Structure 1
Amino acid sequence: MKDKILRFIKRPFIRNVTIIASGTATAQVITMLLSPIITRLYGPEVYGLMGVFMAIVGVIVPISALTYPIAIVLPKSDKDAKGLIYLSLYVSVIITIIITFTLLFLKQPIVDLFQIKEVSSYLFLIPLVILSSGILQVIEQWLYRTNQFRITAKTIFLHALILQGSIIGIGIFYPVATVLITLSALGNGLKAIIMILIVRNSNYKKSINLSKKNISIKSLAKTYNDFPIYRAPEVFLNAASQSLPILLLSSFFGPASAGFYTIAKTALGAPSQLIGKAIGDVFYPRISQAANKDENLTILIKKATTLLFLIGIIPFGIVIIFGPWIFSFVFGEEWVVAGEYARWIALWSFFMFINRPAVKSLPVLSAQAFHLTFTLITLITRVLVLIIGYYVFADDIVAVAFFGVSGALLNIFLILKTLKISKKYDKLNKVK
């Protein structure tokens, strides 16, 4: 038994997941230890304004390079992968310029249309966030491709320590929305800088050669055009559906409601960041390699999904049962409503937690058109349930409950549909 456990731990997949998870775990420990201080310094109203701004940013950032960085993991040759790095950076710069000019000339109409007057003065931070996010995505995907997971783990830890420490350090003297929003907006840029510094001071830099010789950027853009055509719209719609509750709750029930949702979602994101993201980040290059070798992808997806199910059932279950008491105790009595939100968000978050292998498999299975359709249906569903919660029941907790239940059902469908697609893929490719 001992030998079997040791062999299991030494498997590359498990080892890489452990490396990522260790960095994420320490970052989450820092975040969770400091969160009670942050929530008591800033309060629900300020947290709500930060949530609204980050919800706006969250819609745009995922498409800062039209998802071309995600393709960096896929090519068999490093030359094509490096070509995708250049392509991604070019696209990110172009989008940053477009957003900058859009804000210069259309800022007020945008503010009036989306009723975001409270955060209008912070909108010019968005171009900086977009550019830094595009650079970060490129670095992360290259490190995933080359299995440099230790660098990623170190970055996650240092980023959490510096960012959360800064929020508290400055917040002690100036606990205002400007501090919280500005530091949050600089988060991706800080993470990219830390990652670059670690890479430059490691032996890894010797293996990087970003020469453009014999690289056709135009050809690569055409070869991987399913990413901007299908994946980018899907990511945009998914980000919109993730940000939508914050914007609608703020509009329907006020900034405090958005603050309750933000802290509940952040707290429940801890297991996803700790384990779900770690497995997803390692699983993506693993299943890409498996597809190139004609391995059975369905078995890989089932194993990873089952593992996440077993890991997540207890922590998410505890929140569903004891949510209000936990949030009141940890974050302060004024956050008890966030605990009520968390009960329902936990239901949705649990199935989103276990769907990571399915989502990561879709590009490999050439099923990005399905993913786009699914995400569009998800967005429409979330809009409808929140509107029903407001106009029919006039109750924010009911609205969040509808949101959580619908999210759980949709994610169950996504997992089952992905398994069906993978079985068909395996059959067509006559897996080993």
Structure 2
Amino acid sequence: MRARSGSDTGNDTTSDDTTRRRHRAAPRHRRRVASSRRGVLNIAAGSAGGQVLLLLAAPVLARMYSPADFGVFAVLGTLAATLGAVASGRFELAVPLPERDREAHDLVAVGLVTALGTALAGTVVVLVARDGIAALFDQPALSSWLWLTPWTAAAMAAVQVLNQLAIRYRRYSAIGRRNFLQAGATLLTQLGAGLVGLRSGGMALGLGVGQAVGALSLLPGMRRRGADEDPGTHRRSLWRTALHHRRFPLLLAPSGLINVLGLQLPVLLIAYFYGSAVAGWFGLTQRVLAIPVALLGLAVAQVYLAELSRAARTGSGRAAALFLQASRQLGMVAAAGALLIVFAAPPAFAMVFGPEWSTSGSYVQALAVFTATQLVGSPLSQTLIVFGRQGLQLAWDVGRMILVAAAVTATALAGGSALAAVWAFGLSAAAAYGVSWLLSFHVVTTAHRHGPPRKPEPVPPTLAHSR
């Protein structure tokens, strides 16, 4: 038998070392997978509890508030969501990226201060222009409640900022608890406001209170820092952090505004063209369709962001696998949900919410395909941000906003019915989310084919070149 040479022996030793490393790495990988699954379950449990409360109370609210009341809420909630998307300067998107915890906490502080400044500036605008805004939508009741808009927007921004910090630390149970407390506070306030007669603004008041409670529930995470970090936060440090991450407000704030307008602008257009009752029917439709997105979409999105950011930072090469796994999970749920909506929505709405809300059942049916594509495309669109493709994200945001706004406007100007306008919105938005998935798939698979991505900088490149 031939004796093994020294080089052969060295190769065997190297092979044994490699095998041992693989065996040690396998349990770590299984622990990460198990942690991700627990994260989804924790977030989904909190979301499920809150959304079940809202679902059970929806018939009560539908009988407590009229379609016109829901119309006022649709406008106020839309304005708050639009402003809230950019109230923090989009600094929250940078929170999961820095390697140093101190820098992440500085970003949180900058985002919260920016949200407060936005609320103060928005209050001045409301004091000056509230009558004009109410007249634009032919809803005089708006004038008395527009003051809620900037402060609700600031609370929404605070939730986003603090939620990103919780994602960074994988505080999934805290996120789940926040989801439940936020929904519960919203519901209790809306029910209480309806009972005392605050019909036109009670729904919007509940939204603002719920967002504030959600932000407060996440505040304890602000105290957590790395062991080697100075716990003090100085104004000079915050200013340097804001300047260092200036690309987020300069590029992603316009992108975020355009992104939210892609969904919210059609609501305002429908309210403008078809009146408060139609806006109310459409508002209840959105409230019901938000439940599956909140139950699973947000849970998967937040865990996906945490795991994808980690994969990008460590260069593990798992980004493409994470993307496809999340796509499969979301796709199965989306397909089943769309079929259920198409066949069950119209009779269910009339039976559950009362005959005056039967029109909302037809609106839900018109938005079935859109809801399915949004459930899949929206969580996965974060891929573009993590891989530094902000320019591509901005291009998609602009395209979607133009597409859906043009679809609704053209339908209304052509004399189409409100239902036709809802169908136009749903189909155009569905097409846009299909394109979003394709773009994210292209980015993540291109990065995978060319090897693990470079360790991302605290600020991803503004316009990354195509690989």
TM-score normalised by structure 2 residue count: 0.84
- Listed as ranges, the gaps of 5+ residues in structure 2 are 1-29, 455-467
Residue 213 of structure 1: CA displacement?
A: 6.0
Counterpart mapping for 1:3-82 below 5 A: 11-82=34-105
> Percent of aligned pairs with the same residue?
23
Match in the other structure for 1:425: 447
- Listed as ranges, the gaps of 5+ residues in structure 1 are 1-6
Match in the other structure for 2:22: none
Residue 386 of structure 1: CA displacement?
A: 0.8
Match in the other structure for 2:7: none
How far, CA to CA, are the matches of 2:40 and 2:267 in structure 1?
A: 31
Match in the other structure for 2:213: 190
Is 1:345 matched with 2:367? yes
Match in the other structure for 1:281: 302
Q: Which amino acid is the alignment partner of residue 183 of structure 1? A: G
Q: Pick closer, same or farther for the CA change 1:272–1:117 going to 2, 3 Å.
A: same
- Cα pair 2:75 2:267 within 8 Å, conserved: yes
- Cα pair 1:41 1:175 within 8 Å, conserved: no
Task: Give SS of 2:162's match.
Answer: helix
How far, CA to CA, are the matches of 1:193 and 1:24 in structure 2?
A: 17
The match for 2:386 among 333, 340, 364 is 364
Match in the other structure for 2:417: 395
Q: In terms of mean alpha carbon deviation, does 61-70 or 121-130 score higher? A: 121-130
What CA RMSD, in Å, does the superposition of the two structures yield over aligned residues? 2.5
Is 1:155 matched with 2:178? yes
Task: Give SS of 2:266's match.
Answer: helix
Match in the other structure for 2:323: 301
Residue 100 of structure 1: CA displacement?
A: 2.5
Match in the other structure for 1:140: 163
Q: Which amino acid is the alignment partner of residue 259 of structure 1? A: G
Q: Pick closer, same or farther for the CA change 1:214–1:324 going to 2, 3 Å.
A: closer
Q: Which amino acid is the alignment partner of residue 402 of structure 1? A: A
How far, CA to CA, are the matches of 2:423 and 2:311 in structure 1?
A: 39
Task: Give SS of 1:73's match.
Answer: coil
How far, CA to CA, are the matches of 1:390 and 1:396 in structure 2?
A: 8
TM-score normalised by structure 1 residue count: 0.91
Residue 340 of structure 1: CA displacement?
A: 0.6
Match in the other structure for 2:188: 165
Q: Which amino acid is the alignment partner of residue 92 of structure 1? A: A
- Cα pair 1:79 1:215 within 8 Å, conserved: no
- Cα pair 1:83 1:215 within 8 Å, conserved: no
Is 1:237 matched with 2:258? yes
Q: Pick closer, same or farther for the CA change 1:428–1:357 going to 2, 3 Å.
A: farther
Cα deviation 1:342-388 (Å, max 9, x = unaligned): 01212111101011342121111111111111111111111111122
Counterpart mapping for 1:123-138 below 5 A: 123-138=146-161
Q: Which amino acid is the alignment partner of residue 164 of structure 2? A: Q
Q: Pick closer, same or farther for the CA change 1:132–1:175 going to 2, 3 Å.
A: closer
The match for 1:247 among 222, 245, 268 is 268
- Cα pair 2:107 2:241 within 8 Å, conserved: yes
Residue 117 of structure 1: CA displacement?
A: 4.2
Q: Which amino acid is the alignment partner of residue 70 of structure 1? A: L
Residue 407 of structure 1: CA displacement?
A: 1.1
How far, CA to CA, are the matches of 1:215 and 1:17 in structure 2?
A: 38
Runs of 4+ in 1 over 6 A off after TM superposition: 7-10
How far, CA to CA, are the matches of 2:446 and 2:139 in structure 1?
A: 46
- Cα pair 2:133 2:143 within 8 Å, conserved: no
Structure number with the higher helix fraction is 1
The match for 1:100 among 95, 98, 123 is 123
- Cα pair 1:296 1:431 within 8 Å, conserved: no
Q: Pick closer, same or farther for the CA change 1:214–1:133 going to 2, 3 Å.
A: closer
Task: Give SS of 1:147's match.
Answer: coil
Match in the other structure for 1:3: none
- Cα pair 1:51 1:258 within 8 Å, conserved: yes
How far, CA to CA, are the matches of 1:391 and 1:331 in structure 2?
A: 31
The match for 1:224 among 245, 249, 258 is 245
How far, CA to CA, are the matches of 1:114 and 1:176 in structure 2?
A: 18
Q: Pick closer, same or farther for the CA change 1:404–1:214 going to 2, 3 Å.
A: closer
How far, CA to CA, are the matches of 2:130 and 2:190 in structure 1?
A: 28
The match for 1:311 among 333, 339, 342 is 333
Q: Pick closer, same or farther for the CA change 1:167–1:114 going to 2, 3 Å.
A: closer
The match for 2:311 among 265, 290, 309 is 290
What is the number of residues matched between the two proteins?
A: 422
The match for 2:344 among 322, 327, 336 is 322
How far, CA to CA, are the matches of 2:269 and 2:224 in structure 1?
A: 49
Q: Pick closer, same or farther for the CA change 1:371–1:21 going to 2, 3 Å.
A: same
How far, CA to CA, are the matches of 1:316 and 1:172 in structure 2?
A: 35
